[in-house]
Structure 1
Amino acid sequence: MLNRIIRAGRYVNQSLRLMVGVPEYSAYVTHMANVHPDQPVMSYEKFFRERQEARYGGNGKISRCC
């Protein structure tokens, strides 16, 4: 029972992080290890910057009306 509660808490945490735009680094690392083992894994800082640029646009430009 406790394991189910912990697992549910992790899913809720991951969902909330994705809703506010904070990507899951551990999921990225796991994906890279399983699917792309020949490619290097980005550091957390580089991963975070890349995700922010992908979400909000690069070069300091904001591509939305407000």
Structure 2
Amino acid sequence: MVTKTARLMVGVPDYDTYVAHRQLNHPDQPIMNYTEFFRERQEARYAVGKGRFRGCC
């Protein structure tokens, strides 16, 4: 629990929670592998491209 909290505090996405959510709520839809998931979360967080930038600085 401490590790999970620390990761969320610094913005590291939780792949296991994502997989559990998808299996429970969207069982008919594909699940991204870890690399796809990580890249998608980084894109969502920093939004580089699409004409906008929401970086940390």
Please say which structure displays the higher CA radius of gyration.
1
**TM-score tier after normalising by the smaller chain length:** 0.7 to 0.9
Determine which structure has the larger helix proportion and give its number: 1
Alignment match of 1:42 (pick from 11, 23, 32): 32
Gaps of 5+ in 1: 1-10
CA RMSD of aligned residues (A): 2.1
Instruction: State the TM-score, normalizing by the size of structure 1.
Output: 0.73
Instruction: State the TM-score, normalizing by the size of structure 2.
Output: 0.83
Identity %: 56
Number of matched pairs: 56
Could you list the runs of 4 or more consecutive aligned residues of structure 1 that deviate by over 6 angstroms after TM superposition? none
Gaps of 5+ in 2: none
